[in-house]
Structure 1
Amino acid sequence: MTEWPDLAGRLDAESHVLPVRVYYEDTDFTGIVYHGAYVRFFERARSDFLRLIGIHHKELADGDHGVSLAFAVRTMTLDFRKPARIDDILEVRTGLAEYRGARVRLDQRIYRDGELLVFADVTVAVITSEGRPTRLPQILADKLLAHMPDERPMD
């Protein structure tokens, strides 16, 4: 099978960037993106960010690092500024804001043509298959920490 490295977006100096096209299924009857669709866009971007830095959900779940692990969303705050519409090409940016113990905080933003549409502040917990918070194995923590930005916020 041919690899499509751009399918998972790309990493740049400050964040992960995932292009997303708005389809009919993402919209309400007016052609405006339904609020729940943004949550799906953010989830895809978080998953692809992790994939590109070498942290794979399947390996976590399969216990490849000693114990079965997962990321569970603990909190998510969304700020809707402007609507996206059917056929728009969006850019979902994901940046690591904080990593501490079993908590990972990410800043996520959705842009259309450089204009900010939606902002999300997301905290995920690293948990075992029993639902207990735990730290990532050091090899995975190092992969995350390699993408911790200097104190620059994403604009």
Structure 2
Amino acid sequence: MTERPGQPGVCVSTADSHHNYTEREHHAGRDVWLSRKGAISARRGQAGLIPGSMGTASYVVAGLGNEAALLSAPHGAGRSHSRNAARRLFTRSDLEQRMGGIAWGHSDAFLDEHPDAYKPIDQVMADAADLVEVRHTLRQVVNVKGD
């Protein structure tokens, strides 16, 4: 974390937490091409972000460097329903209820992002306990999506 110039006590940090990529790495004594699909790099101490759905928490994490997991961790909650299935299963009134207290666009464009279209983020984080350490919990305030 670094302090912002001119704003004492206000600290900012960044986490480059891209996913769905391939890079050259060294594992098990050899150089390999490692593809992370739906995963982030979680080297020891490396900052990352593991997002939940638009109606649940997201987590700022630090990698634990788990060699058995190839220094990786989940990218996020992951879908339990496809976008098309979510549009069929969920209604806008249901989404209104689930998004209570969070600002969002109030359009059908958000149906495929319904919180119940995703796996429970708390379970994902419990499953990743040997991969990352939670540093901060983020709560949604506003969600934006193009129509």
Structure-2-length-normalised TM-score: 0.26
Higher Cα Rg, which structure: 2
More strand by percentage: 1
